[in-house]
Amino acid sequence: RIGSATSLSSAVVNTRLQELVRLFRERTEKVKEKLIDPDVTSDDDSPVASPAAAPVPAPGGELEGNKLSGDDHYCEMLCCTFKSRPWLHRLKSYQFPSSIDPLTNLMYVLWLFFVVMAWNWNCWLIPVRWAFPYQTPANIHYWLLVDYLCDLIFLLDILVFQTRLQFVQGGDIITDKKAMKKNYLQSQRFKMDVLCLLPLDFFYFKVGVNPLLRLPRCLKYMAFFEFNNRLEAILTKAYIYRVIRTTAYLLYSLHVNSCLYYWASAYEGLGSTTWVYDGEGNSYIRCYYWAVKTLITIGGLPDPKTLFEIVFQLLNYFTGVFAFSVMIGQMRDVVGAATAGQTYYRSCMDSTIKYMNFYKIPKTVQNRVKTWYEYTWHSQGMLDESELLVQLPDKMRLDIAIDVNYNIVSKVALFQGCDRQMIFDMLKRLKSVVYLPNDYVCKKGEIGREMYIIQAGQVQVLGGPDGKSVLVTLKAGSVFGEISLLAAGGGNRRTANVVAHGFANLFILEKKDLNEILVHYPESQKLLRKKAKKMLKSNNKPKEEKGGPGDPLIIPPKADTPKLFRAALAATGRKGGKGPLGRLRWRLKELKAMQ
């Protein structure tokens, strides 16, 4: 037992001594490397990053995200169990927001849609009910039901939504209830909303149900224009809605004119002259057809007979010319704004073709230039992405660059461990370039002054004796040329040809841009230099250490002494033996001393 305990303690001591020796050896190597390379200032490979906010454990010891709430409701359907809450309980627990952001709240845009629908009901149907005999005592209760439903929507908009809208005052977003209500009560919007709800319906008891008494409801037009602005802000193709809206303006003007024509015909007497409506067929469709021919000035209409008909027709012609010209001009502006990018692309293409024809550029080069224009436009919708971001402030450009490029740049081994803010500054300097099939991205022997990050497509690294053998194919997310950014002496030379395999979108980071950024981040600069030196050493090691397959060795390597034989010699020396092993040990010492 004593012998086993002694051997166990000696094994523990030997293990501890070996660990200490290893630690001392690592420390010595780091001190040596620090003396050789002055850029190494710390034992760590990277600057200390700010720790991320860790999830706070709950009092029970579990994370809040993993802790199941007690009021979770589970419902079984078919053979599966779904976690859900009853819709009635969800409806009861819903709380209406105390303040609403009118610029970003989609619920407010949806509510404006219902307000605009109620406003359109009054604008379109009040003239119809006044001019045409569509409102009768038999269906009057249906008209009144929808009328008062629209009035309820207007009232809720005033009491519930408009008094909760946030506004900006002195650069601050005001969310106080009293301030929001006061701001609405003092606005022009409130005055128009009150006027549109004037209770002229009480005159129904005196003059009957006259739709013209509801004409003030059309003063809710400010909600219509606000809905247009909010909807265009969230649509991806807003020009389509603009075209539809402009067409609706034209249709509404024709709608009002048809109502006026029926009223004039009823005033003169239906069928009394050849100019008025004769009372046959669908009255609205026939009158609308007459309004289209009048406002668009197609012609072919019967001549007016009475003075009233002549004055009415002259006013119609003047109004039609003016309204139709305004609609055509607005439609032209809408279509021009929608195709502005395409027009710019065509003008650039035509100017480039004209330039190449003037200088008699070969057709092969012209075809490649045309291909570049077409692919660049169809792939990214613009010729230069930087033009889109010039008008944005620096912070917004950084946010867009982070969303687009950060996932790719953060995977580059050279930049791992660097300051996070340095990477953010570097994202704004990336430039997007499109390469055509078989275009040389870089050639062997060139001075490398930039780094490439593949955004889309593939590139091939060529090498071999003829320089045409494909060594490797790099895909989206790969990086090459990063060592060139930190190489001294103006940049290192490229060691291989890199060719685009098909169409390739690449991000380029130039060396001068990186140097301007690293001036403000000295710790990251030292780390990048250290990594670059290690990468260069690893690339040059196989060439320096490994000989060729046919290189003969002048002095063959000496075989190592067997471990068991060395142990026997050491034991003989400790015991002071003078046998053959002792003499051999003494002879080896002499040879070692001579060497």
* CA–CA separation, 24 and 20 (whole Å): 6
Is the per-residue pLDDT at 531 higher than 70?
yes
| Highest-scoring range by mean pLDDT, 36-45, 79-88, 131-140, 466-475 | 131-140
Q: How open is the CA angle 335-343-355, to the nearest 5 degrees?
A: 165
Range with the poorest average pLDDT among 41-45, 387-391, 409-413, 450-454 = 41-45
The pairs formed by 290-293 with CB atoms below 8 angstroms and a separation of 24 or more are 290/258, 290/261, 291/254, 291/255, 291/257, 291/258, 291/261, 292/254
Q: Is 62 left (phi over 0), alpha (psi -120 to 50) or beta?
A: beta
Helix (H, G, I), strand (E, B) or coil at 492: coil
Closest CA relative to residue 304, chosen from 278, 274, 277: 274
- Bridge-partner residues for 105, per DSSP? none
Tokens representing 153 are 């929507």
pLDDT at 576 over 90: no
Contacts for 234 with CB less than 8 Å, ≥ 6 apart: 106, 109
Handedness of CA 576, 582, 588, 591 (dihedral sign): positive
Q: According to the model, what pLDDT value does residue 594 have?
A: 64
Between 71 and 13, whose confidence is greater? Answer: 13
Segment 303-357, tens digit of pLDDT: 888 899 999 988 888 888 888 888 888 888 888 887 887 888 888 889 999 999 9
Task: Note whether 371 and 436 are within 8 A (CB).
Answer: yes
| pLDDT tier for residue 186 given thresholds of 50, 70 and 90 | very high
- Amino acid identity, position 215: L
> What is the rounded CA–CA span in Å between residue 366 and residue 62?
67
DSSP 248: H
pLDDT value at position 319? 84
pLDDT at 53 over 80: no
What is the pLDDT of the chain when averaged over all its residues? 79
pLDDT at residue 283 is higher than 60: yes
Q: What is the pLDDT of residues 35-50, one digit of tens each?
A: 555 544 444 444 444 4
Which residue, 519, 454, 448, is CA-closest to 489? 448
Taking only the tens place, the pLDDT of each residue in 401-446 is 788 777 777 777 777 788 888 888 888 888 888 888 888 898 888 8
Domains assigned to the chain: 95-234 (no CATH), 236-383 (1.10.287), 392-540 (2.60.120.10)
Query: Lowest mean pLDDT: which of 83-92, 417-426, 500-509, 522-531?
Result: 83-92
Average pLDDT of span 495-522: 87
pLDDT band at 68 (very low <50, low <70, confident <90, very high): very low
Give pTM, 2 decimals: 0.63
CA quadruple 331, 337, 341, 343: dihedral, nearest 10? 50
Beta bridge partners of 167: 174
**Does 241 have pLDDT greater than 80?**
yes
Determine the pLDDT at residue 67.
44
78 has pLDDT over 50: no
- Please indicate whether residue 254 or residue 323 has the higher confidence score (pLDDT): 254
527's CB contacts (< 8 A; 6+ apart) are 45, 46, 47, 417, 418
Among candidate residues 143, 108, 99, 148, the one with its CA nearest the CA of residue 125: 143
Q: Looking at 90-94, 151-155, 490-494, 552-556, which range is the least confident one?
A: 552-556
Better-predicted residue by pLDDT, 101 or 12: 101
Does pLDDT of 212 surpass 70? yes
pLDDT of residue 153: 96
Placement of tokens 């119809």 in the chain: 128
Residue 397 and residue 389 in contact, taking contact as beta carbons nearer than 8 Å:
yes
Whole-angstrom Cα distance, residue 150 to residue 120?
Answer: 10
Higher model confidence: residue 321 or residue 583? 321
Give the whole-angstrom CA distance, residue 573 versus residue 183: 102
Distance between start and end Cα atoms, the chain: 48
Q: Work out the pLDDT band at 554, boundaries 50, 70, 90.
A: very low
- What does the pLDDT read at residue 580? 64
As given in the structure block, the two tokens for residue 405 are 């490029």
Locate 170 and state its tokens. 């002195």
Q: Which residue has the higher pLDDT, 50 or 6?
A: 6
